[in-house]
Amino acid sequence: MDKEKRKPTKPTEKMNLSSDSPGISFHLLANEKWQPITIPAFSILLSLIAAAIVILLIGKNPLNAFLNLLQGSGILPKPSYAGYKGILTDFLSLLNAMTPLLFASLAVAVAFKAGLFNIGVSGMMLTAGFTATVAVGYSDLNSFLAKPVVLIIGIGAGAVMGAFVGWLKYRFNINEVVSTIMLNNIAQYVFGFFINAYIVDPVSRQSRYILDSSRLTLVNVEYGGLKMDIPLGFILAIAAAVFLKFFMDKTILGYEIKTVGANRNAAKYAGINVKKNIILAMVISGALAGLAGVTYYLGYFSSIQPKVLSSVGYDAIAVSLLGNSNPVGIVFSSLLISIISKGSTYMSSIAGIDQDIASVITGLILLFSACGEYIKFKIRRLNDRQLERKESEA
């Protein structure tokens, strides 16, 4: 028997769990059917409150700051726009930024379903982005050929790197967290070296801009008096999420990957090829990370800054955790994180809060999401206790 169960629940300030008349929020949280939505929402709420406190502490108005976030990301209209700009411009730009994040988060989620923690998405993105840049970015291939080739190279480069991590894990039992971090660092310096040595632009100190023909975002498209960036990869990212949902829930391969992730011993016992599934999951994860890489370096941007890893790979962990590794949940959580990071520039310029606050909020969301299981556990225990109380009263 669980000895813990007998201890009285300590009152938590976070949610008035131990009060005799739990509020509406508790009833919402207690409903297990809605928990996949209510608990992340609760985590977000907590982190926004925490962020608001941080903002208050540096002497700014948090409500204004949050409003600015929404305005900057094209969800709410700004008071004024420069020429050729409008809310639609901002919104498309949001989707442009969200595309790599969505791919990256799906990459984290697939690995997680197989019980693997892929922290190497950033390194894989860089590998894919660099390979595609060098192979296609400066070539004279026409647009209809160049874009698909970029995608294929991205998928390939990411998948190879993912397979390598999976192989290290299975063959040598190397913790994938450590190996992916090592690969991140190696990728960062190796590609940094090649960029600096061969394709650097002496003025911008970045790699030379790729040609528009290979870029996955159509830039400065004029429509209705506005100049907009249209992210072609966005549709692909949504399609990937839908496909992944189907793949995980409905196919034999998805079932096997999930079994390996939930209990590796039982999977082996049931005759599932654990090695194949670990590598397969990492290949899919790597391929998605590769897509994130090309939509980032050859879509959202058009050059690579040497010796810097994108933060997208880390944000993706937050997104995936928040979305409960469910592709549909991830679409929404990646939208949220994109709003925060995209809107932070505008907020920084209007409210004077450093835009790093965006990553602080993301980190806080991550922190509270990690407590999700505990919240669930607390609620279950409280439910039991209330039931007991009712029984003893009756």
Partner 1 sequence: MDTIIIDGLSFALPLFIMAIGGIYSERSGITNLAIEGLQGFGAFIGALAVILISNFAKTDLESLFYLAIAFAMIGGMVFSILHAVLCIKFKANQVISGVVINILSVALTSFLTSQINKNAFGAASDKFQLGVSKRFTIGGLSRIPVIGAVFKGIYPFEIVIIIIAFFAWYVLYKTRYGLRLRACGDNPHSVDAAGVEVSRIRFTAVMVSGALSGLGGMCFAYSISANFSPNIYMGYGYLAIAALIFGNWKILPALGACLIFGFAKSGGYRIVQLMKLPSAYSDLIMILPYVLTLLLLIFFSKTNRAPRALGEIYDKGKR
Partner 2 sequence: MPEYIVEMKLITKKFPGIVANDDITVQIKKGEIFALLGENGAGKSTLMSMLFGMYEPDEGEIWVRGSKVKIDSPNFATKLNIGMVHQHFKLVQNYTIAENIILGVEPMKKLAGIFPYVDIRDAGRRIEKLSKKFGLEVDPDNKIEDVNVSIQQRVEILKMLYREAEILIFDEPTAVLTPQEIEFLLDIIKGLREGGKTIILITHKLEEIKKVADRCAVLCRGKLIDILDVKETSTRRMANLMVGREVNFETVKKPAHRKDVVLKVSHLTVKNQEHFEIVKEVSFSIRGGEIFAIAGVSGNGQVEIADAIAGLTKVSGGTIELNDTDITNYNIRRRTLCGISYIPEDRQNFGLVLDFTLSDNLALKSYFKKNFSPKGILNRGEIDRYGNKLIEKYDIRSGQGVRTLVRSMSGGNQQKVIIAREIELASPFMIFVQPTRGLDIGAIENIHNMILQERDKGKAILLISLELDEIMSISDTIGVIYNGQLQKTAETKSLTPKEVGEFMMGVRHG
Binding mask 240-259 for partner 2 (x = CB under 8 A): ---------xxxxx-x--xx
Q: How many angstroms separate the CA atoms of 318 and 268, rounded?
A: 30
Per DSSP, 366 falls in state: H
* Among positions 95, 121, 240, 267, the unique one binding partner 2 when judged by CB under 8 A: 267
Q: Indicate the residue among 84 and 193 with the shorter CB distance to partner 1.
A: 193
Q: Residue 250's binding partner, choosing from partner 2, partner 1, none, with beta-carbon cut-off 5 to 8 A by kind?
A: partner 2
CB within 8 A of 217, min separation 6: which ones? 96, 229, 230, 231, 232, 233, 295, 299, 300
Span from 1-9, 18-26, 192-200, 352-360 in contact with partner 2 (CB under 8 A): 1-9
Q: Are 294 and 153 in contact (CB under 8 A)?
A: yes
Which CA distances in Å does 390 have to 17, 19, 20, 286? 17, 15, 12, 52
Closest C-alpha among 100, 99, 166 to residue 313: 100
Q: Residue 189's binding partner, choosing from partner 2, partner 1, none, with beta-carbon cut-off 5 to 8 A by kind?
A: partner 1
Q: Does 21 bind partner 2 (CB under 8 A)?
A: no
* Among positions 265, 374, 393, 394, the unique one binding partner 2 when judged by CB under 8 A: 265
Which CA distances in Å does 184 have to 176, 180, 303, 305, 352? 12, 6, 19, 15, 33
Report the relative pairing of strands 226-231 and 200-201 from DSSP bridges.
unpaired
- The CB-of-31 to partner 1 minimum distance in angstroms stands at 22
Q: Residue 373's binding partner, choosing from partner 2, partner 1, none, with beta-carbon cut-off 5 to 8 A by kind?
A: partner 1
- The CB-of-248 to partner 2 minimum distance in angstroms stands at 11
Applying CB under 8 A, which residues contact partner 1? Answer: 1-5, 58, 117, 119, 168, 172-175, 177-179, 181-186, 189-190, 192-193, 196-197, 307, 314, 317-318, 321, 353-354, 356-357, 359-360, 362-364, 366-367, 370-371, 373-374, 377
Long-range CB contact pairs, 77-81, < 8 A, 24+: 78/346
Q: How many angstroms separate the CA atoms of 353 and 228, rounded?
A: 27
Interface residue list for partner 2 (CB under 8 A) = 1, 3, 5-6, 249-253, 255, 258-259, 262-263, 265-273, 384, 388
